């Protein structure tokens, strides 16, 4: 089932791509998409930078099909403590109001500007 993209998803993906300089964070080749550790259905971490990396199509698919490798990769990227904190945040049930989403959008835009220079 395809998940409906929120305008924040597009902004978030741009930020993740820029943070990785467009390079797949798993294999080092040119990437093409954002990969989430916890599904985008978990709204508490949907736009959390710890929950996402930039991958090429093959690596994204590989990581999705190999949960142990996916877990090892994110744990190595974040370190044990941040990885556990991400897992805790992912279990929080969240329903965002319009003003909450505006705050997230503003925060993402600030982070994007910092990366753009």
Q: Which two tokens stand for residue 19?
A: 């943070």
Q: Which two tokens stand for residue 75?
A: 């744990």
Q: Which two tokens stand for residue 82?
A: 């941040």
Give Rg (Cα) of the chain: 14
Q: What percent of the chain has pLDDT over 90?
A: 91
Residues 6+ apart with CB under 8 A from 84: none
Q: Give the pLDDT of residue 107.
A: 96
> Under DSSP, is residue 55 helix (H, G, I), strand (E, B) or coil?
strand
Q: Is a pLDDT exceeding 80 seen at residue 4?
A: no
Q: Is a pLDDT exceeding 70 seen at residue 2?
A: no
Tell me the per-residue pLDDT of 22-65, one tens digit each, with 9 for 90 and over.
Answer: 999 999 999 999 999 999 999 999 999 999 999 999 999 999 99
Instruction: Work out the average pLDDT over 67-81.
Output: 97
């Amino acid at each position: 089932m395809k998940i409906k993209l929120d305008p924040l998803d597009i902004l978030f993906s741009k930020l993740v791509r820029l943070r990785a300089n467009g390079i797949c964070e798993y294999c080092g080749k040119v990437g093409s998409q954002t990969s989430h550790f916890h599904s985008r259905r978990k709204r508490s971490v949907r736009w959390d930078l710890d929950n996402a990396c930039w991958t090429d199509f093959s690596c994204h698919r590989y990581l999705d099909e190999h949960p142990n490798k996916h877990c090892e990769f994110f744990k190595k990227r974040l370190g044990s403590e941040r990885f556990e904190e991400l897992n805790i945040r992912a279990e929080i049930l969240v329903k965002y109001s319009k003003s909450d989403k505006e705050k997230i959008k503003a925060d993402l835009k600030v982070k994007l500007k910092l990366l753009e220079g």
